A and B are shown apart, each in its own frame.
Chain A
Amino acid sequence: MTAPGDFPRRSFVARKLDEAGAGFGSLGDAAVALDFGDSAAEAETARRLGLADLSPLPRTGFKGAGAVEWLAGQGVEVPAESNRAARQSGGELAARLAPGEVLVLGAPEAEADGLPAALEAAWAAEPLPPGTPRGFPLPRRDSHAWFLVSGSEAAAMFAKLCGVDLRPDKFPNLSIAQTSVARVSAIVVRDDRGGTLAYHLLTDSASAEYLWDCLLDAMVEFEGRPVGLAAVRALGDG
């Protein structure tokens, strides 16, 4: 049996997951909630309204002069417009938050560290001081908790927490809203999975437990529940 305490790196909501009866598995250097007892039923829940914690998954960010050009040089497809995301060949997302800032999210399907870790290693490997500006890495795995809200009721649920219109016909796939969710600053990235409406929600890691509770409370009227990574991966399979 894997438990969050087996690893020095822990999700910001590890206790909430544990209390909800999560079954954990290892993913890289942390434990991730794979399911809550019934991954098949959770896959159904995830199609209606599910909340998954992806905080242990790899992610990174780069910001500052030259960041976008350097990422492009590393083979990352960076969207031309701010507040748009582009899918990478390995299933990762490159989310452009500002003209000079990109957030890179690992693929929920991936087992290893993947692109985010590779980028961080490539950035660190270059000699200092840098010859050309290439931005600076941001500790996105620690600054932000990462949740995935999925299912047909996701937009209606978000309408209880967020003043931005996230309905699917108004907020196209791979759009980004940097806004306030339940009064906490958040990054919302729409990323439908296997035809199911889904949003990545990245938010202040210190507020993770608070926001987890807010989300579950807002989900009650739609019978939404926490789901594990297995259910998220099942969505991706269509």
Chain B
Amino acid sequence: MKIMPCPLNGPRNISEFACSGEVAEMPEPNRTGDEDWADFIWMSNNTAGVVREWWCHVPTNYWFIAERDTVTDEILKTYPAGKVFTARRDFQGRDEGP
């Protein structure tokens, strides 16, 4: 069983974690055409190489980001989600200007 280094709880058996796929920033929904939106929702890059993934430590429900090489299955580093998502996100309405 692999070990996942959790930024909050330290190294733990990976059975304590759930993976939620690649980190992808959501495009502005009301400024994105149908095709691009469908691509964002339903298509996955399935990158061979280093990807940033969402992981959750289940006993604490703690979300963080792991950089993992999907070819070697090596976990390169992990860090709190706040390192990537640094500021409050608000969404633009349909009628508002950009």
Chain A residues engaging chain B, CB cutoff 8 angstroms = 82-83, 97-98, 163-164, 177-180, 185-186
Q: Which of B12, B15, B58 contacts A185 (CB 8 A)?
A: B58
Interface size class, chain B: 10 to 19
Q: How far is the CB of A178 from chain B (nearest CB, A)?
A: 5
Task: Return the chain A residue nearest B58 by Cβ.
Answer: A185
A98 contacts B60, C-beta separation under 8 Å: yes
Chain B residues engaging chain A, CB cutoff 8 angstroms = 8-10, 12-13, 15-16, 57-60, 62
A-B contact count (CB 8 A): 30
Task: Return the chain B residue nearest A177 by Cβ.
Answer: B9
Contact residues in B for A178 (Cβ distance below 8 Å): 9, 57, 59-60
B8 contacts A179, C-beta separation under 8 Å: no
A139 to B8 Cα, complex, angstroms: 23
A83 to B9 Cα, complex, angstroms: 7
A185 to B12 Cα, complex, angstroms: 13
A83 contacts B12, C-beta separation under 8 Å: no
A164 to B10 Cα, complex, angstroms: 10
A178 to B17 Cα, complex, angstroms: 12
B59 contacts A186, C-beta separation under 8 Å: yes
Task: Return the chain B residue nearest A187 by Cβ.
Answer: B59
